[in-house]
Amino acid sequence: MAKKNGYEINYIENTITVTKSFLKEAGIIGSAAYNELARVRKDLPDFQIVQREITKKQGKKAYGKLTYKVMGEFIEAQEEENASVVLAEFERVQMLSKVQSGSYAYVKTWFLNRYKDVFTPEEAEA
């Protein structure tokens, strides 16, 4: 998919594959995307416009509602005797993560590695 223009022409399947954002912008009459799509449709009238589908990894675990607060509450519930020590380590990991490019991902990875045997994605949702 060509990122610079938001669409890709497939001559084998006779399709014009467009991104969701390009299609949304092309819905505004007079916009640059609208004019570009109109020009491409004029050049290739037999081609079908198809929205690009994002491929999703099968079996991937998603932790949609796993926030720092949820992690802290889970640590308190799991670590009955040494909760204060682990929470201090958790806060230190959060501080260290601030210099990382993906700070949340850094903390999440630490958390999931520590509790991979007991934490499930369903618990993040609850």
Is 97 domain-assigned? yes
**Tens-place pLDDT, residues 39-48:** 999 999 999 9
Distances 111 to 67, 93, 123 between C-alpha atoms, Å: 11, 9, 13
Same domain for 73 and 46, yes or no, is no
Same domain for 15 and 46, yes or no, is yes
Same domain for 75 and 47, yes or no, is no
Question: Residue 121: its pLDDT value, please?
Answer: 66
Is 60 domain-assigned? no
Same domain for 20 and 46, yes or no, is yes
pTM here is 0.54
Is 1 domain-assigned? no
Number of domains within the chain: 2
Provide mean pLDDT across the span 70-86: 87
Is 92 domain-assigned? yes
Range of the domain at 42: 7-51
Count of beta carbons in the 10 Å neighbourhood of residue 75 = 17
Listed residue (89, 86, 91) closest to 76, CA to CA: 86
Is 89 domain-assigned? yes
Taking the CA atoms of residue 97, residue 118, residue 124 and residue 62 in that order, the dihedral angle to the nearest 10 degrees is 80
Q: For residue 4, is pLDDT > 80? A: no
Is 42 domain-assigned? yes
Q: Provide the mean pLDDT of the chain.
A: 87
Provide mean pLDDT across the span 51-75: 86
Is 39 domain-assigned? yes
